[in-house]
Structure formats: structure tokens, C-alpha cells
Structure 1
Amino acid sequence: MSLCDVTLREAGQMPGRAYTIEQKIAAGTALDRLGLPLIQTGFPITGEHDTVVTRRLADTLEAEVVAIARAREDDIAAALESGADIIEVFIPISDRQLEAVIDDSRESAFDAAHEAIDSVRDGGAKAHLTLMDAFRTDAASVAPAFEQFDAPITLADTVGARTPPFVAGYLRTLAELGVSINRVGVHFHDDLGLATANALVSSQLGVDRVDVSVASLGERAGNPALEECVVAIEQDGDSGVVLDELVPVCRAVLDSLDETVDPRKAIIGEAVTAHESGLHTAAMLEDPATFEPYDPEMFGGTRQLLFGARTGQSAARELLERAEREPTDERIENLLERLVDDGPLELDAALEMAERVQ
């Protein structure tokens, strides 16, 4: 399974965003530090902006750079001109989208995709195919695509309508229809708050590719969070990325794009690895895993133990012992009073206080 980062394209589709070329170049360059195999940079037919970003990143990144294109001659020409390594052709496949987007049949959409893929290959790039709204399309109508096309195929939950049980059942149904799941890519949206969960279910079932975005940046509610997917996959598998760069890279991307996240945002929020509860900090002084699901340092983050008004006697005793002071009842009470007055303090400052307390 490989991860394809779609931050640069998806974030740019959010209302009110107008990232500069340099912002996107900086974000893409940071993402490349993760060792991701695929980075999707834009939609070149939309103009010079995405074309320049794609061209410059294709010239410099280790990752393969992906540009998207409709199954149209002018789209393919623009994508080829951008120098992208991979051109991802997308077509609608659900009845609703076929009618609203192209007002034509599924067979006509497949024919257009065949022509577009041939043009991509004739132009010297690799071709991928994305089926829009696939997860709201009967599996029996999707399975033939895997027989007709020899390109990698991504199935999109375009409006974020599906749940993990549905996704798992859908992929199993495709397998029963003869589709090799290791040929399937998936693209989810977070409209129901389930994009990351859907991505993880798909990963467990053996899909070839999962699209992700830093901090879920993307149109509407966004996409599966890159950082959440990596950490979750690493609990019992291999995400294939440079782990100790994860948090620094995600924060660098956010800084480059002038985006912020809530301090309580999973994995990359500043508050998610900070602990002040007396019970928690007392236990974590002995064994951090007592109240942590993962070691933040593994992913380039930091753990912050705070000592203040919530600190209890057990934690105060441990601080005194670490400061090589005898933890008498009087010293414990004095340290707790000082922590109430001057806290919350990080561990080093709390230890210095413990060294001085009478």
C-alpha cells in the first residue's frame, strides 16, 4: 500500500484560498522529506499557476508528481505540458454524476478514458484513472473498469457519503466479482467525519493506494488526514514514510500555506501530547505509555509533562526523588504549594523547583 498526498490540489480548492506558487513549492518540498511515493500537485488545465507548480516540483522532487485531467484532449495536453510524471484521468461513473457532469453514458465515459489514457502514454507520462462517485455506484458497474483498463484505478467517495462497514463490504464485493484489491486505489472525503476510518479499512483490506492530506486540508470537510493514517498504520504495519519527519513536515506544510489547526488536532495539535492531570503525570514519569497510545518522539513530536495545581502527592514525591531530595511529607506539601503558585511547569523546571524546595 502506498500513500498519495493530495494536499496541494485539495487545499487549493477550499473557499477563500489563493496560495501562491512559492507557498505550494515550499509545501511540496517539505512533503518530499517524508519519502512519499506520490504527490498530487494540481490541475494544469485550470491555468499557469498549477502548471508552474507541477513543472517545478516534477523537476525537483524524489516523489512522482501527479497532475489530474479530465478525459479531454485539452486537459491531457495541459497536463503533459506541465511535465507531470503521472497524469490521473478522472471520469464520472455513477448515474447521478454521468447525467450532471457529462450528460452521457457510462460506455461513452469509458471510451473517452481509453482515448485519454492512450494520449497520456503517447505523450510519455504514466496514466492513472479515477472513477468519480464510485462508492455510490453499484459494484457490478465498477468491476468492468478493471477488465477494460490496465492502468491503476482509484475509486472515489466523492461526496464523503460512505461508512467503514459499507466500504469494507463494497471492496469485498468487488473481490467476489473478480477484481484484485491490490489494484484498487481509494480517495475519500470527510463529510461524515469518516475519511480516515474509511482509508484505514481500505488499507487493511489490501488496496494499492490511499489518498491523504495534511490535517485533512481539502474541499468541504477535507480528506483522510496524512498524519492520522501514518500513525494508525504504524501501530501494526508499515506506512512507508520517514517516521521522525511526520510531525515536523506536517507543521512545515501548514506554515507554508498559512494554515492553522486546533491545538487538540490529533497527532499534530500542540495539546495532544501535553499532560497535566496529576494521576497521568505521576504514572507517566515511570512509564509514558501508561497514558499514551504511541511515542510522539517516534514521529518527530515531543511529549510535554506539566506540573501545577493538578499535581498530586505521588507526582511530587517522584519529582523530589528524581531531584535526589528526600520526599518528606513537609517537602511534598511545600512543593505542591509552589506548583500551585508558579505552575504549570514543564518537567525540567519542575525538577529545578524540587531541587530548591525546603
Structure 2
Amino acid sequence: MKSVVIDDTTLRDGEQSAGVAFTPEEKLSIAKQLAETGVKELEVGIPAMGEEECELMRSIVSLRLPIRLLAWARLTECDLLAAAGTGVHMVDLSVPASDIQIGKKLQKDRAWVLAEIARLVPLAREKNLEVCIGCEDASRADNDFLYRIAEAASNAGAMRLRFADTLGVLEPFSVYSRIQSLRERTSLQLEMHAHDDYGLATANTLAAVKAGASHINTTVNGLGERAGNAPLEECVLALKNLHAIDTGVDTRKIPKLSRMVEKASGRSVSWQKSVVGGGVFTHESGIHVDGLIKDRKNYEGLNPEELGRNHSLVLGKHSGRHQLRSSYKKLGIALTDFEASNLLARVRKFSTEYKRGPDKGELYNFYRQMQDSLAMYLGGSL
């Protein structure tokens, strides 16, 4: 089976989500859980933030996790030296690749970018750091200049090139074309860094892998700046089940990891969030439930057992008699056709009013109310 390496950036880009701030204990716990889940690389922080951040990064290094640890740094000597002092294995030296950011943000030119790569990559190698050149805003960069960056990085001794769709403005077809073009022109490892501003981060990441990317950036639950990054859980399951590509991640450990990051970040996971949402294996529609009961494959695109989860059948406005009978059978009550019709109307009315399905106690109450009403009707007709 083909494989791809996940370089997860929950502890760096994930924490850059506005309002998110992990405690040192939370960062250490998340790092350990990511490693236990099978993630091969972690981007663990930004040394330029100061000594407190550097000390925390050193603490993560001291865990001696069986994975590669990266620091994120700007393409400057001071950032590079700060990264070298943390003990990580690799540094992502990030620099704008688009003309607008090179000129307007850095007030530099293309020649400066190439010269700094040639100057700083060898220095990083002297400090025993493996190097990734991170092309910020690569999605708006000129293709020919990206090829020149890749050539300069390779000649200077870098290992990897990161293609960052910093603004989340690409779609899968253009991602495939651009990564494929880079793949044809460089032997560097290629890493895709996608943002979800148009809801395409996962799709763009898959397209990059199909085009030849060897590494991908993810964050747990899609945590990240603005609309977030490519969610680890979505990328892992989609690569595995849709493309037969292995990431080394134990999918049964994903729910625990998701809950840990949800709690630490203070960002609640949507009920319908792909893969890890509380309701993604919950079924109400009568037609779907009937088909699911007959054969799970009728309505199962993702096996919940891959995540240590199960299908859940709930009653609601769209439920049918078959599901209602099944629910009451579990309570030890066999319904007649008349009773099923009567109770189904009660369940639908309840669900519409309270925006949820009835629990066991409420189902018992519906049944008793129906029996009482029937007894009163029959008594009054005698």
C-alpha cells in the first residue's frame, strides 16, 4: 500500500486559531497522544515567540517520542538559531513566495529570497537541523519562481518544500496541476499545507497526494487560523478508504485524540463534523434505517468500527414504523399496527416540538398515555 507522512501542526498552526491557547500540560499531552495515535511528525511551536515557548518545545523533545519534531521559523538567522536551541530535528524556514507578500509584506524582492535560502539552509545543516523551505502563499506565487525556490533549496541542502495555500484560495484541480508540475521538477520531498476557507482543505490535500506530495500538514478537528486547516481525521480516513494510501495512524485512537483537542482548545466539535462528530453515525430517516437494518452496506460509507464506534438509531420526525417497532421491542413491548401508527404520530409531534427524539422513559409514557386514552374511549362507548 502506498503511504504518505502526516506532519501534524495542531500544536503550532492549530494553536494560532484566534482565542486558542494551550497550557504546557495540554501541549505535552496532545503531543504524546498524537504520537500514540501513529502520527509520524509534529510541528510543535514557534521559537521566535520567546523563551517560554522554547522551553516548552524542549520539554516536548525531552519526551523522546518516536517521531520527528519540527519548529516553525521565519527565513531569518535569529529565528533559525532559536529553533536550533530547542533540540528539534527539523525546521520549517518559512518565506513568502508570492510577489505581493515578498514586496508588500517583506519589502524585499525575489533575489533576496533566493539569496537567503542559499545562506541560511547551510547554516541550519551546520546546526544539525533538517530543513523544509516553507513557501508561504505559494498558491498565489508564480510557478517559475516556485521552481527556482525548489532548485535553490535543493542546492543548499534542504530536504523538503512546503506548498502552503495560506489563504485557502485553491481548489483540487489547480492543486493537482501545480503539485504535479513541482514533482516533475524537483526531487525534494513535497508537503501540502491547506487551509479551509472554501471548505476544500481535505480535498486539496488529497489532490496534492495524488499529484505526488509525500507529506501533508493536518490539525486535529481542523483547528487553525480563520476557517482552519485540513483535519487530520478526514485526511487519514479519506486517504485510507478512498485511495488505499496509508498514514500509519491507528484510526481507533482518533476519537480520543479529537476529544482531547476539543477540550484543550475550547472549540466544540460540530454534531455533524465528518468522522468525529457525535451524530455522524446516527440515523433517523425511516427509509435509511430500514435499509441499514437489512444490510449495513446499504447506507454505510464509513464503517464506524474503524473508529471504535457504532451506528446509532434514533426516533424522530422522519422515523418509520419499522424503527418504532424495533425501539419498543427493546423495551419489551410488541406493537400492533394500530399502536404503531398512533405512537408514531406522537413521536413525530414530540420531535418537532422539542427538537430531539424521545428517550426510553418518554417512550414508556407515550405507550401508557395511548393505553389510557384507548381505555377511556372504550369505556365511554359502552
Q: What TM-score do you get using the length of structure 2 for normalisation? A: 0.82
Q: 2:239 is matched with which residue?
A: 233
Query: How many Å apart are 1:288 and its aligned residue?
Result: 2.4
Select 2:32's aligned residue among 9, 29, 32.
29
Q: Structure 1, residues 208-258: CA drift from partner, whole Å, max 9, x if none?
A: 111111122111111111111111111131232111111221122222233
Select 2:282's aligned residue among 248, 251, 274.
274
- Partners of 1:57 and 1:303 lie apart in 2 by 37
5 Å matches for 1:77-226? Answer: 77-150=81-154, 151-175=159-183, 178-180=185-187, 183-226=189-232
Q: Contact 1:35–1:242 at 8 Å: present in 2 too?
A: yes
CA RMSD of aligned residues (A): 2.9
| SS of structure 2 residue aligned to 1:159 | coil
Q: Contact 1:308–1:345 at 8 Å: present in 2 too?
A: no
- Partners of 1:321 and 1:303 lie apart in 2 by 18
| SS of structure 2 residue aligned to 1:33 | helix
Which structure 2 segments of 5+ residues have no match?
352-356, 372-382
Select 2:6's aligned residue among 3, 7, 20.
3
- Partners of 1:325 and 1:21 lie apart in 2 by 53
- Partners of 1:261 and 1:307 lie apart in 2 by 23
- Partners of 1:12 and 1:49 lie apart in 2 by 15
- The number of residues matched between the two structures is 351
User: Cα distance 1:58–1:321, how it changes in 2: closer, same or farther (>3 A)?
Assistant: same
Q: 1:249 is matched with which residue?
A: 257
Query: How many Å apart are 1:319 and its aligned residue?
Result: 5.9
Structure 2: which amino acid aligns with 1:275? H
User: Cα distance 1:317–1:126, how it changes in 2: closer, same or farther (>3 A)?
Assistant: same
- Partners of 2:104 and 2:316 lie apart in 1 by 59
Query: How many Å apart are 1:322 and its aligned residue?
Result: 8.2
Query: How many Å apart are 1:156 and its aligned residue?
Result: 1.0
Q: Does the alignment pair 1:301 with 2:304?
A: no
Q: Contact 2:205–2:216 at 8 Å: present in 1 too?
A: yes
Q: What TM-score do you get using the length of structure 1 for normalisation? A: 0.87
- Partners of 1:139 and 1:308 lie apart in 2 by 53
| SS of structure 1 residue aligned to 2:120 | helix
